[in-house]
Structure 1
Amino acid sequence: MRKRLVGATVVVAAGLALSGCAAGGAPQQTAGGGSQAESRPVETSAGPQQETTDAAGSNQGGNATGDRPCEASDLDAKFVTSENYDGRPSSGQFSVTKNSNDMTPCVLDGYPEIKAMRGSEGGATMPVAIQQVTADGAQSMRLDGHGGFASFNITWTTSGADGGCDMPGALSVRLPRAGSQDIEVPVNQGRDNSLRICENDELQVQPFGDYTN
């Protein structure tokens, strides 16, 4: 069963809309820029998860405030990227904004689970390696109400100027400590959200946090 959610997204400038990137290639937030991308909560069946390498030794979690974990239906999402074609790492920022479906506070704490999808609505998963990495700015994010914001960054090496392979049509993201509903965001619909990777390439994923500075 697939729920469709179309909501206002907070536009996060990354990639081409950035005047610079944070340390390690992670984009910074600025006002404006980037095209609007539609995010959809997608019900997924339980199954084996992709193998990951956690640089911190274990998946971050826990909730010291007692607030509930954020669910896909709480959030509108956007993915904005900047790609390099000369062998340097490319980067993208996946940002989420609290919508008005549930005004009670919720928490994003730790690493999301990432899958690269062949299609934009529940397509088959591409075999892409996911490596969890630490970053300055990673922290538990409490979203109090409408408009609360958090993000995480992804880095990869672009597979040529035109990809040269079947590239993903969407990113599927499962929030830390959430249920079986994923957030699915289309990619490769324009230069500002391109994700030109091939099968067996690697994505490096940071935890949720505050990467606006």
Structure 2
Amino acid sequence: MRKRLVGATVAVTAGLALSGCAAGGAPGGAPQQTTGGGSQAGSRPVEASAGQQQETTGKASGPGSNSGGNGTGDRPCEASDLDAKFVTAENYDGRPSSGLFSVTKNSDNMTPCVLDGYPEIKAMRGSEGGATMPVEIRQVTADGAQPMRLDGQGGFASFNITWTTSGDDGGCDMPGALAVRLPQAGAQDIEVPVNRGRDNSMRICENDELQVQPFGDYTN
């Protein structure tokens, strides 16, 4: 998939049964991994715009927290290292909905890199650098949170996002994309379109809450 840089930004949550890093299952039985650069259509790195900020509460420390070096000697993964995919399973009966954001290392830079900690998430009104929706982002702890080292091409990692779906049809302006900034990365975000079909439906409204977990190994 060809990538390009534009001026923009991106957003996500956690909960339900986890299927995770290094080869887990996606929520709702959806496919969880891309191979050889087969990323979700439209996902690409974008340059973050100045002045766009997210509201974050409940920041956690300990394993997987964004507190400094990754402890492995490897560089942090950048947006250009990865192809991304976001698949969801929404519930309309009050139970939490869940989305799995997965990344696969591409061949742009074959040196190892590490994903360690929480991604930064933004919900965007559009898929081309639209304005950020006022959505609360809450970081939650999770068993299995740990640095994920991606070797060469094909290395795989993921994290979960959870939210409460806003009615059968949303009933409000819903996001057109999520912007994800990787832990300890530079100014690039990975932008992934949402609400383009049932497998990536994310029906949330302004001032709703997204819960996000750190990268880790949730396969056990």
TM-score of the superposition, structure 1-length normalised? 0.84
- 2:134 aligned with 1:139: no
Q: Which runs of 5+ in 1 are unaligned?
A: 6-22
| Contact 1:83–1:91 (CA under 8 A) maintained in structure 2 | yes
Aligned to 2:54: 50
**What is the CA-CA distance between 1:210 and the residue it aligns to?**
2.0
TM-score of the superposition, structure 2-length normalised? 0.82
Distance, in Å, in 2 between the alignment partners of 1:47 and 1:55 is 21
**What is the CA-CA distance between 1:37 and the residue it aligns to?**
3.5
Which residue identity lines up with residue 130 of structure 1 in the other structure?
Answer: I
Secondary structure of the corresponding residue to residue 25 of structure 1: coil
Given candidates 186, 203, 213, the residue that maps to 2:193 is 186
Distance, in Å, in 2 between the alignment partners of 1:82 and 1:186 is 15
**What is the CA-CA distance between 1:50 and the residue it aligns to?**
1.6
Aligned to 2:169: 162
RMSD: 2.1
- 2:179 aligned with 1:172: yes
- 2:66 aligned with 1:60: yes
- After TM superposition, the structure 1 stretch with the greater mean CA deviation from structure 2, 161-170 or 56-65, is 56-65
Secondary structure of the corresponding residue to residue 73 of structure 1: helix
**What is the CA-CA distance between 1:212 and the residue it aligns to?**
3.1
Q: Which runs of 5+ in 2 are unaligned?
A: 6-13, 32-38
C-alpha distance after superposition, 1:144-193 (max 9, x if no partner):
11000111100000000111111000000000111111000000011110
- In the comparison of the two structures, how many residue pairs are matched? 194
C-alpha distance after superposition, 1:9-43 (max 9, x if no partner):
xxxxxxxxxxxxxx940442339945944311001
| Contact 1:167–1:196 (CA under 8 A) maintained in structure 2 | yes
Which residue identity lines up with residue 177 of structure 1 in the other structure?
Answer: Q
Relative contact order (C-alpha < 8 Å, sep 6+): which is higher? 2
- 2:45 aligned with 1:41: yes
**What is the CA-CA distance between 1:49 and the residue it aligns to?**
2.6
Q: How does 1:100-115 map to 2 (within 5 A)?
A: 100-115=107-122
- Quick one: percent identity of the two aligned structures? 84
Distance, in Å, in 2 between the alignment partners of 1:26 and 1:42 is 31
Aligned to 1:212: 219
